[in-house]
Amino acid sequence: MSVCFSDRLTQRILATKSVTCVGLDPRRQSLPQGLQPGEGASVADWAAGFETFCTEIIDVVADKVPVVKPQAAFFEQLGPAGMQALHRVIQHAHNKGLLTILDGKRNDIGSTAEAYADAYLGAGEASVWGSDSLTVSPYLGADSLDPFVAQCDRRNAGVFVLVKTSNPGGGMLQDRSSEGQSVYQTVAAKVEEFSSTRRGECGFGPIGAVVGATYPEQLAELREKMPSAYILIPGFGAQGGGAQDVLAGFTSAGLGAVVNSSRHIIFAHRRPEYADKFGEANWQDAVAAATDEMNQQLACVFGQ
């Protein structure tokens, strides 16, 4: 990968005219009937179902969105068999030209953080899991982020650091303020520091931030404070954030952010408006329609 992550993401956004990130969060009880193994199925059977489900979603959205975000937890829930499925899902996304954000919220200190960075960062043959990027948690401090930043440099990979999360309780730590700066502002300053010296042609660097759609004011504030950082915005759709809430995360050119939706797209066949129209057997059509709908809802970001 000779092009830096932020430039690759920007190119994909411009090529697809989409800032949608499709979250691959497979859950047993929500899988389309045809992909649910029968009663007494093993975790390996479920892992096969997850893999088929995710690869078919990838096939549907590959030309519609720039990036997909597999959620590690749901694959880990199936044990080693689930991890194999995760690996193949990442590969399939790349084969279809999609970028990947592995949502693992990993981190540790020193050489252990190095191990995570080596494990996950770097598409193709560069790393064993082969993801373009990874979400990481900052609780352990700036030195815990260094190994990830170093690996981004080496392999043209990216990370998204948790800054302001979309859940109601996130403020317990993140909003704590001392000497006029909250914890999330401190993390954001670190993100900007990392990315500002690593900007690609697009003007953004490889160290991004996670900022929830459920906090539009902070999103605007953080857009301004991290001009060099891509922002991954979760909390759109099922979690309550709307198009107006995320607008502030973008530059006037419609860049600098991607908006994730998981359930609303991948389980669109369960939403009343699509269930009636397509039926569960045509769940892929519901995925396509829900993706198009979200792209349309967000098209306004390009014309700000």
**Catalytic positions:** 105
C-alpha of 65 from chain center: 12
Work out how close the CB of 292 gets to a copy of itself at its nearest, in angstroms, rounded to a whole number.
26
Work out how close the CB of 84 gets to a copy of itself at its nearest, in angstroms, rounded to a whole number.
4
Element housing 65 (H / E) = none
Contact footprint for a copy of itself (CB under 8 A): 25, 27, 43, 71, 73-74, 76-80, 82-84, 86-87, 103, 105-113, 115-116, 118-120, 128-129, 137-144, 162, 165-174, 176-178, 183, 186-187, 190
Query: Do 241 and 213 contact (CB within 8 A), yes or no?
Result: yes
Query: Do 82 and 43 contact (CB within 8 A), yes or no?
Result: yes
Query: Do 26 and 54 contact (CB within 8 A), yes or no?
Result: yes
Distance CA 33, CA 147 (A): 43
Work out how close the CB of 80 gets to a copy of itself at its nearest, in angstroms, rounded to a whole number.
4
Nearer to a copy of itself, 33 or 111 (CB): 111
Distance CA 162, CA 110 (A): 19
Work out how close the CB of 51 gets to a copy of itself at its nearest, in angstroms, rounded to a whole number.
12
What token pair was written down for 274?
Answer: 């699509």
Tell the residue number behind the tokens 């720039």, with chain if given: 66
Nearer to a copy of itself, 84 or 251 (CB): 84
Distance CA 275, CA 268 (A): 8
Cβ count within 10 A of residue 146: 15
Work out how close the CB of 124 gets to a copy of itself at its nearest, in angstroms, rounded to a whole number.
14
Strands 229-233 and 257-261: parallel
